[in-house]
A and B are shown apart, each in its own frame.
Chain A
């Protein structure tokens, strides 16, 4: 409604002053939909008819802006969850801020100071009780995947290795300021520091690898698998092992909602996720994007 009104006013403006060519260019872009209708309940989402899902942008194969709109594993998961809840799906792709705590604040419970309100649920958050204990505005649940730092290398360039120190004389591509960057920069008192070849994104690192500029890549396994499929890499070997010398190299991921009195949304999402898992749909989504599904460590521990 207001959209129509706006375009009408713009047209009026243009008719009034044909010479006012810069008018439309200077429309200020400061307004956002500061939605505050949601009490965080399933009923509120159903009443609106659409579930807004916060997802990292430029984060293949999980979530990114594809040629035909938002795409990726987490986008498919969000869509499947919304379908089970019987509501529409709206992706809110946002650029990662300095830490996940900031992302949760800006997209799930407080909103960014630039405006824009918050989403109903965020996908690909840490499923980590110690992290969760520090985030008192958010409920974490629904661990659905396990990610681990891994290495891909060219068998024609280097042999299989036991210790990561074998990488010290190699060129190893990493995404800048990632856990892999930290691993190479900090582990073993920095002995791998000069092996790191830092790239602005993992995609750029994979491109350099494909072009033969690197011996190996270090990155989270799922991210690597997805990009390798998308970019059709030739023969490479995958090495996944417990990487020593750093505090932590594998982690579970899951869902989060804003903490609320009413737990109906969280319960409905957890139920829908269980159905997707039980029916094999979850695994299929990962497979579709070239990623081998790995159950979260919490689930594996429970099963053993």
Chain B
């Protein structure tokens, strides 16, 4: 159990340090920033002197127009400063830094947040959320970043709170409940801000939770609309009923929809030209698909919600009646293809989808992994997968001690997991951090849960190839063809970023932060950060210098769930560090700064 109050002297010391830091900030009389506006957020993708959104823009393309750093000079990329997240607890650091008004805002494991001087790395203040007993984060104690609005920095916590802090002081301005942590709710994704609304999903792998997307007034935290992502549940708009999601019992038997899962745990993207928020949903519950005949809407889907009304405009389900734990949470990235307004998603199930972002019509679906046992393709007319009959058997029909085992690829950790891909409008390619692994999955009649007999599943994740699991792949969305790939021994678990310098950046569990040629895939540069990289890169320009930042700190779901694969990564050191790079300049130049 998590202890509510620490009894170690080291933490007491940290309290004092923290107090000192706060007082310095207050005493310094820092002027309040002009404030982050909706217009600035909508312009973030093309603005270079700040980073206001996780995903480098509301589309989440993770592309920067900066090209000071490019293929010609990247050999001169060197550390500018580093910052240690400190504390005894480290684990996975999946954050992306935000940059505004000379400050860097970063979130860390255990629901922590820091404000640093973006140029020097000096800590301005920190916020360490008090976590109660009995939180049940599904997969490590990570956080994937914050959001900025006005003079606030907003982030979600492992006990399912949304906390808004003053950017200058770190003081709590508002603190709202996203869900009941005792019922298994949690929060790890970065919030999205559109038109003064802070939009969040909800995390929680435990049985009994129901996914939803909430929109709150970003200034006050007050709920504006809420849209459940399982059919049969009533949505709300300003406290009033706003229509049921879908049609009750259309795709769920009995009252199972009441607890249907479909957690929106990876957050959302947005396209202003159609006014839609795109949120992915997780697997349906319970895990055994034989118990819930039907498509189980809107699990394993992308739902497009009208930001003004809180109603679902369209949805696309990638894995109907999911039986492999293929969460459909992955980011839907709006982009323009041959003049068409579309969006792309690389799903856990191994397919790369291109979908009309206005109406949800499927345009193209192609595999981005080498092996898919569960489906041979996707019917472009109906939008449905062509299944290959590779479902695990029904455990409630089992008469033996172990049900039939099937080998399934991808594994439940997915052809791609949470780690976001990036798009480059210059090359027209998507850069997908893919993993090549499968799983044995079988029914396990001899299982127990909460003191009682239970019918469970057994699984073991296995690499498909001896020499690699991870593969960064450049995919042409027009054809679905893989243009190039860069293999990696361990599974990839970090985000990707592209720049107008024709560079692609990502990190590896082996600790390297790497840059590739966006057109050829040639590895141009790498740097050992000291721990596994599962963070998301960002870049900005300050005083004429382009900076590139990445968090280092190994963790996430692989060491917890990875089966045979976990052995591959068991010797990786933990950490917790922000690394910031810039082009080398001579000692004389540095002295002038």
Other 18 A-B pairs with CB < 8 A, given A26-B18, A96-B450 = A2-B8, A5-B9, A10-B15, A27-B11, A29-B5, A29-B6, A29-B130, A30-B11, A100-B449, A128-B446, A178-B454, A185-B286, A186-B288, A186-B455, A196-B254, A246-B396, A251-B452, A253-B451
The stretch of B19-27, B365-373, B545-553, B562-570 in contact with A is B19-27
Q: Mark B377-394, 1 if CB is under 8 A from A, else 0.
A: 000000000000000001
A254-291 contact mask (Cβ, 8 Å, vs B): 1 or 0: 00000000000000000000000000000000000000
Task: Kindly identify which residue among A10, A114, A198 contacts B259, using a CB–CB cutoff of 8 Å.
Answer: A198
Q: Is the CB of B6 within 8 A of A30?
A: yes
Bound-complex Cα distance A26 to B2 (A)? 15
Q: Which of B16, B206, B398 contacts A13 (CB 8 A)?
A: B16
* Contact A28/B172 with A131-B446, A185-B396, A248-B445 known, Cβ cut-off 8 Å: no
Tell me the complex Cα distance, A160–B258, Å: 30
Provide the residues of chain B in CB contact with A220, threshold 8 Å.
452
Inter-chain contacts of B8 with A (CB < 8 A): 2, 6, 31
For B258, what are the chain A residues with a Cβ–Cβ distance below 8 Å? 198
A33-B6 contact given A98-B449, A179-B454, A186-B396, CB 8 Å threshold? no
What's the minimum C-beta distance from B172 to chain A, rounded to whole angstroms? 6
Docked complex Cα distance between A194 and B256 (Å): 9
Chain A residues with Cβ below 8 Å from B291 are 182, 185-186, 190, 193
Residues of chain A with a CB closer than 8 A to B447's CB:
99-101, 131
- Residue A26 contacts which of B7, B127, B132, B183 (CB distance < 8 angstroms)? B127
- Judge if A163 is at the interface, Cβ distance under 8 Å: no
**Assembled-state Cα–Cα distance A246/B445 (Å):** 10
B16 partner, pick from A9, A29, A181, A200, beta carbons under 8 A: A9
Q: A-facing mask of B249-271, CB < 8 A → 1, else 0?
A: 00001111011000000000000
Proximity bits, B117-154, A CB within 8 Å = 1, else 0: 00000000001111110111100110000000000000
Give the residues from 1 to 45 in chain A that come closer than 8 angstroms, CB to CB, to chain B. 2-3, 5-6, 9-10, 12-13, 16-17, 19-20, 22-23, 25-33
Contact of B132 with A29 in the complex, beta carbons under 8 Å: yes
Taking a contact as CB atoms under 8 Å apart, the answer to whether A249 and B401 are in contact is no
Q: Does A94 count as interface, using CB distance less than 8 angstroms?
A: yes
Within the assembled complex, what's the spacing in Å between the Cα atoms of A99 and B285?
15
CB pair B183–A200 under 8 Å, yes or no, is yes
Of the residues A27, A200, A247, contact of B15 by C-beta under 8 Å: A27
Q: Which residue of A lies closest to B450 (CB)?
A: A96
Give complex CA distance A179, B449 in Å.
Answer: 9
B34 contacts chain A at the CB level, 8 A cutoff? no
How far is it, in angstroms, between the C-alpha of A22 and the C-alpha of B166 when the chains are bound? 13
Q: Could you tell me the distance in whole angstroms from the C-beta of A32 to the nearest C-beta in chain B? A: 5
Choose one: B26, B293, B560; the contact of A113 (CB below 8 Å): B560
Complex-state Cα separation, A185 to B252, whole angstroms: 12
Once the chains bind, are A6 and B453 in contact (CB under 8 Å)?
no
Residues on A with beta carbons closer than 8 Å to the beta carbon of B135: 114
- Interface residue stretch chosen among B70-78, B87-95, B461-469: B87-95
Q: Does A126 contact B (CB under 8 A)?
A: yes
Give the shortest distance, in Å, between A281 (CB) and chain B (any CB).
Answer: 21
Residues on B with beta carbons closer than 8 Å to the beta carbon of A242: none
User: Does A187 reach chain B (CB closer than 8 Å)?
Assistant: yes
The answer to whether A5 and B12 touch across the interface, beta carbons within 8 angstroms, is: yes
Contact, CB under 8 Å: B452 / A198: no
In the complex, which residues of chain B have a beta carbon less than 8 angstroms from the beta carbon of A198?
255-256, 258-259
Q: Most A CB atoms within 10 A — which of B2, B253, B258? A: B2
Q: Which residues of B contact A157 (CB under 8 A)?
A: none
Which of these, A2, A92, A101, A186, contacts B397 with CB under 8 Å? A186
Residues on A with beta carbons closer than 8 Å to the beta carbon of B487: none
Q: Which residues of B contact A183 (CB under 8 A)?
A: 396
Shortest C-beta distance, A99 to chain B (Å), equals: 5
Q: Are B88 and A99 in contact (CB under 8 A)?
A: no
Closest chain-B Cβ to A57's Cβ sits at a distance in Å of 8
Question: How far in angstroms is the closest Cβ of chain B from A52?
Answer: 11
CA–CA, A27 to B110, complex, Å? 12
> Which of A13, A17, A25, A131 is B448 in contact with, Cβ under 8 Å?
A131
Contact of B3 among A33, A97, A246, A249 (CB under 8 A): A33
What CA separation (Å) do A299 and B395 show in the bound complex? 29
Whether the Cβ atoms of B15 and A31 lie closer than 8 Å is no
Closest A-B pairs by Cβ, 5 of them: A186-B396, A96-B450, A31-B6, A100-B448, A28-B128
A-B contacts, 17 listed (Cβ < 8 Å): A2-B8, A6-B7, A6-B12, A9-B15, A25-B130, A28-B130, A56-B451, A96-B449, A99-B448, A99-B454, A114-B135, A126-B453, A130-B401, A130-B446, A131-B447, A198-B255, A200-B208
Q: Is A70 an interface residue (CB 8 A)?
A: no
Minimum CB–CB distance for B535 against chain A, Å: 19
Q: Given the complex, which residues of A lie within 8 Å of B396, measured CB to CB?
A: 182-183, 185-187, 246-247
Given A12-B16, A27-B128, A177-B285, are A182 and B259 also a contact pair (CB < 8 Å)? no
A88 within 8 A of B: no
Known contacts A2-B7, A176-B259; A116 and B1 CB within 8 A of each other: yes
By a CB distance below 8 angstroms, the chain A residues around B452 are 147, 178-179, 220, 251
User: Cβ of A62: which chain B residues have Cβ within 8 Å of it?
Assistant: 451
Q: How many residues of A contact B (CB 8 A)?
A: 75
Binding site for B on A (CB under 8 A): 2-3, 5-6, 9-10, 12-13, 16-17, 19-20, 22-23, 25-33, 56-57, 59, 62, 92-101, 113-116, 124-126, 128, 130-131, 134, 147, 176-179, 181-183, 185-187, 190, 193-198, 200, 220, 246-251, 253
Whether B253 lies near A30 (C-beta < 8 A) is no
**Contact at B3–A193, with CB atoms within 8 Å?**
no
Number of residues on chain B facing chain A (CB within 8 A): 79
Contacts of B22 in A (CB 8 A): 17, 20, 22-23
Given B3, B6, B397, which contacts A116 in the complex, CB threshold below 8 Å? B3
Is B514 in the interface zone, CB < 8 Å from A? no
Interface centre among B11, B91, B110, B290 (most CB of A within 10 A): B11
The listed residue (A28, A124, A249) touching B451 by CB distance below 8 A is A124
| In-complex Cβ contact of A20 among B23, B137, B256, B399 (8 A) | B23
Indicate whether A92 sits within 8 Å of B399 (C-beta atoms), given known contacts A25-B130, A62-B451, A177-B208: no
Chain B residue at minimal CB-CB distance from A13: B19
Shortest Cβ gap from A194 to chain B (Å): 4
Within 8 A of A (CB), among B1-51: 1-9, 11-16, 18-19, 22-23, 26
Measured between alpha carbons, how far is A93 from B451 in the docked complex, in Å? 13
CB distance from B412 to the nearest CB of A (A): 13
* Chain B, residue nearest A25 (CB): B130
B212 → chain A, closest Cβ, in Å? Answer: 16
A28 x B87 contact (CB < 8 A) = yes
Contact B136 A95 (CB under 8 A): yes
Q: Assuming A198-B255, A198-B256, is B399 touching A247 (CB within 8 A)?
A: yes
CB closest residue in chain A, given B131: A29
- How far does the alpha carbon of A182 sit from the alpha carbon of B447 in the complex, in Å? 13
- Minimum distance in angstroms from B427 CB to a CB of chain A: 40
The reply to whether the CB of B171 lies closer than 8 angstroms to some CB of chain A is yes
Q: Determine if B79 is an interface residue (Cβ-Cβ < 8 Å).
A: no
Interface: B207 (CB within 8 A): yes
Kindly report which residue of chain A lies nearest to residue B399, judged by CB atoms: A247
CB proximity of B1 to chain A, nearest CB, Å: 6
Q: Enumerate chain A residues within 8 angstroms of B128, measured Cβ to Cβ.
A: 26-28
> What residues of A have a CB within 8 angstroms of the CB of B256 in the complex?
185, 198
Contact of A126 among B12, B89, B286, B448 (CB under 8 A): B448
* B361 contacts partner chain A, Cβ-Cβ < 8 Å: no
Whether A27 and B130, one on each chain, are in contact in the complex, defined by CB atoms closer than 8 angstroms, is yes
Cα A200 to Cα B2 in complex, Å, equals 23
> By the criterion CB–CB under 8 Å, are B3 and A247 in contact?
no
Given contacts A27-B15, A97-B136, contact A115 B454 (CB under 8 A): no
